[in-house]
Structure 1
Amino acid sequence: MNNLVAIQGIKGSFHYIVAQHYDASMGVLECLTFDTLVDSLLNGKTDTAVMAIENSIAGSIIPNYALIDTHNLHIKGEYYLDIQHNLMALSGQSIEDIKEVHSHPMALLQCKQFFKDYPHIKLVEAKDTADVAKLISDEQLKGIAAIASKSAAEIFGLSLLAESIQTIKHNETRFVIVKKQKDENHKDSIDKASLKFELSSKRGSLATVLNVMSDCKLNLTKIQSLPIIETPWKYSFFVDVTFEGYEHFEKAKSILQLMAENFKVLGEYKNARL
């Protein structure tokens, strides 16, 4: 078994911070895209990966649900990270010296209000937050700033021009820890599960499933629909549930396997939201 965890982005990215919280002793395999990250699991370069799955402002990262489902990956845990966006550049510059700010489109969007006070600054989209910080450091680019984590500023030796510049101060992203192989978690430590199923368009079919969950004492914390590409106007449902006793989940699972089409458990793990 290798001692690497795959992350989207590079050291200093938000995925990197989550990987450090997960297990600081593990090295990281940097992947520029989520497709590359999944490939690293499938081809055995690593057996663990960190994937962002939803944001408290922007909502679900739908392509990542599809990647987990399509490649039969298993969710073994979750982590909620408070996202703090910081403006950084080479030292010796003020914000008035900055002509361009480069960052991931999501980061730019979440900090849009801040830049209304600086109309001279051009906002430029990039693939990754930390990658811009590295580029500024490597090439000693003056007049260009990055929006990234404090960790990125420390790693690449940049100075902070402004801290916590996101418009909505409480901004969380939920990440999942995924593996190719299913871990056997201890049932007494499991109180959350991620499920996927399909339903016919028959009236009341979704309501019936939700009633089963309620009757079995499951608490629905997330529901996300995704179109089934091969079958127009038919949908898969991705659902997260929490429960106090694993026996309640087992009961619901046995009923839902009979009721819903292509029922699948994507992961059983510990609720990180407690």
Structure 2
Amino acid sequence: MSIDVLASIREQITKTDSELLALIAQRQKLTAQVAETKVKHQISVRDKTREEQLLVRLIKQGREFGLDPHFITNLFQVIIEDSVLQQQAMLHEWANPDSRLPLNRVAFLGKKGSYSYLATQKYFSRRPGELVEIGCKSFAQIIEKVETHEADYAVLPIENTSSGSINEVYDQLQHTRLNIVGELTHPIKHALLVHDGAQNIDIKTIYAHPQVFAQCSHFLAEFGNVEVKTCDSTSDAMIKVSELASPHAAAIGSEESGGFYALKSIKSNLANQKENHSRFIVVASQSIKVPLQVPAKTTVIMSTVQSPGALCDVLLVLKENNINLTKLESRPINGNPWEEMFYVDVEGNTEDGPMQTAFDKLRGMTRYFKVLGCYPVEKVSPTRIAASKALS
């Protein structure tokens, strides 16, 4: 094949890609019209039956063009997920008109390139208004920025699939007046990063956030004799290694963020669990209203009476009202030795009848009960179909 022929084919590919982008944009406009209809008629955002039928039809059509069913499935799972999230964002905006701001001032841990920075970029990419980034050195400072109205929102990591709950954040929530207004799950891909210009690399010191060291403990144990130094965030670790420009220093952080600081990855997938994700919460001064068509989650904080089976009685109330418990975390109450404050995540909307019934009963059973927030579920489970349907 001559160079001229190759150039001609590439021009055709470029043209086809542009046409695909235009079609995707057109599909998103139709998604907006669908969302508007769902608002008027109180229709749920997700229709699993229609999504399954759509995938089956597309797989069959794809076969006619010689396209692999797995490719079609993966492609349209992403498109369906984007459609769901776009609709949820639109419904949220219509239900909370006062929340639309020309500027979204958002506080998060670290600087450009930290995982909290990446999560912030991801979450607010679907929200109207310009994003103003406010990097902070600690979780306490992040909370303070919103409480003093220097920031409109804060993004806080709450748990990780490898290292578990981030207790310091739970302890901050125990004393704040802020409300949880959103959540998102972000993949965490740890890489060993060194300065791009370093030669004859012989690592003697590794910099990272304490949570990162916990998530990569197996890798560190196998690495051998190396000094570990903790930093306030993954971005601070990357900045430190960038400034040192030494063949003996490395940071553990996001491979995609290493380029911000002239770092390159020499080893990836360092986490103990290869499917490593962090869940983040978004907090603000004011609570929000979640439309009933949008899947919602609610977080409450409570302390039970000091009697046998008190926590069990609380959980039975949730069961009796068919409310699914997704998270139960206990933290000590400062100044009350051996007493615990319980954080509970449940699936459901505070505007829904069963939730109101359950919460009314729990308020009478507990010594302290507070709703920290009702917010949309950001994680969209992929649409799946049985192989028999796809092959029929």
TM over 0.5: yes
Query: 1:101 matched to which residue of 2?
Result: 206
Q: Distance in 2 between matches of 1:107 and 1:233?
A: 30
Q: Distance in 2 between matches of 1:210 and 1:95?
A: 58
Of 304, 326, 343, which aligns to 1:199?
Answer: 304
Of 280, 288, 300, which aligns to 1:175?
Answer: 280
Aligned length: 274
Query: 1:225 matched to which residue of 2?
Result: 330
Of stretches 98-107 and 68-77 in structure 1, the one that deviates more from structure 2 is 98-107
Tell me, which stretches of 5 or more residues in structure 1 are unaligned? none
Query: 1:189 matched to which residue of 2?
Result: 294
Runs of at least 4 residues off by over 6 Å: none
Query: 2:269 matched to which residue of 1?
Result: 164
Instruction: Output the TM-score relative to the length of structure 1.
Output: 0.91
Of 372, 376, 389, which aligns to 1:266?
Answer: 372
Residue by residue over 1:41-94, the C-alpha shift from the partner in whole angstroms, topping out at 9 and shown as x without a partner, is 111111100001111222222221221231121011111122110011112446
Answer yes or no: is the 8 Å Cα contact 1:8–1:37 preserved in 2. Answer: yes
Shift of the alpha carbon at 1:117? Answer: 4.8
Query: 1:73 matched to which residue of 2?
Result: 178
What secondary structure is seen at the aligned counterpart in 2 of 1:233? Answer: strand
What secondary structure is seen at the aligned counterpart in 2 of 1:26? Answer: strand
Of 97, 102, 109, which aligns to 1:8?
Answer: 109
Distance 1:46 1:210, change over 3 A: same
Answer yes or no: is the 8 Å Cα contact 1:94–1:161 preserved in 2. Answer: no
Structure 2 counterpart of 1:231, one-letter code: N
Distance 1:132 1:231, change over 3 A: closer
What secondary structure is seen at the aligned counterpart in 1 of 2:354? Answer: helix
Shift of the alpha carbon at 1:18? Answer: 0.5
Question: Do structure 1's residue 22 and structure 2's residue 123 form an aligned pair?
Answer: yes
Shift of the alpha carbon at 1:246? Answer: 2.4
Of stretches 26-35 and 175-184 in structure 1, the one that deviates more from structure 2 is 175-184
Structure 2 counterpart of 1:204, one-letter code: G
Structure 2 counterpart of 1:122, one-letter code: E
What secondary structure is seen at the aligned counterpart in 1 of 2:338? Answer: coil
Answer yes or no: is the 8 Å Cα contact 2:147–2:177 preserved in 1. Answer: no
Q: Distance in 2 between matches of 1:166 and 1:212?
A: 38
Query: 2:189 matched to which residue of 1?
Result: 84
Of stretches 47-56 and 62-71 in structure 1, the one that deviates more from structure 2 is 62-71
Shift of the alpha carbon at 1:8? Answer: 0.8
Identity %: 29
1 or 2, which has the higher helix percentage? 2
Shift of the alpha carbon at 1:190? Answer: 4.7
What secondary structure is seen at the aligned counterpart in 2 of 1:169? Answer: coil
Instruction: Output the TM-score relative to the length of structure 2.
Output: 0.65
Shift of the alpha carbon at 1:20? Answer: 0.5
Residue by residue over 1:167-222, the C-alpha shift from the partner in whole angstroms, topping out at 9 and shown as x without a partner, is 22112211100112212332332521001111111122211111110011101111
Shift of the alpha carbon at 1:96? Answer: 4.1
What secondary structure is seen at the aligned counterpart in 2 of 1:131? Answer: helix
Question: Do structure 1's residue 241 and structure 2's residue 342 form an aligned pair?
Answer: no
Answer yes or no: is the 8 Å Cα contact 1:9–1:31 preserved in 2. Answer: yes
Query: 2:231 matched to which residue of 1?
Result: 126
Structure 2 counterpart of 1:258, one-letter code: G
Q: Greater relative contact order: 1 or 2 (C-alpha under 8 angstroms, separation 6 or more)?
A: 1
Structure 1 counterpart of 2:237, one-letter code: V
What secondary structure is seen at the aligned counterpart in 2 of 1:151? Answer: helix
Query: 2:34 matched to which residue of 1?
Result: none
Tell me, which stretches of 5 or more residues in structure 2 are unaligned? 1-100, 382-392
Superposed CA RMSD: 2.1
Q: Distance in 2 between matches of 1:230 and 1:187?
A: 40
Q: Distance in 2 between matches of 1:120 and 1:260?
A: 51
Shift of the alpha carbon at 1:248? Answer: 1.9
